[in-house]
Amino acid sequence: MNPLNPKKLLLTKWTAVKPVAKQKHFLVSRVIQPIHPTDPIEQVEIEAVFSKATQTIAWRELQNDSVWRQGWV
């Protein structure tokens, strides 16, 4: 997979490899900024397209090919 830049993740589309409760397609709805501006970005908020449910995950989890695929597959 191509290296990800956390600053460019906003509004990117992702597909869960193993969907749970019909939640397969997700959109990065928010990049959570750290308290101190010099600290690196650690987390993003993803929103399920089907149910509009949101969850916060570490942005590095998106690099795991066994869990996430970039785009809507």
Residue pLDDT, tens place only, 15-70: 999 998 889 999 999 999 999 989 999 999 999 999 999 999 999 999 999 999 99
Confidence of residue 73 (pLDDT cuts 50, 70, 90): confident
Looking up tokens 């795991």 gives 64
Q: Which of 13, 4, 7, 9 is nearest to 48 (CA)?
A: 13
The model's pTM = 0.89
Please provide the DSSP assignment of 35-68 as one string: SSTTSPP-EEEEEETTT--EEEEEGGGGG-TTTE
Q: Where are the domains of the chain?
A: 6-70
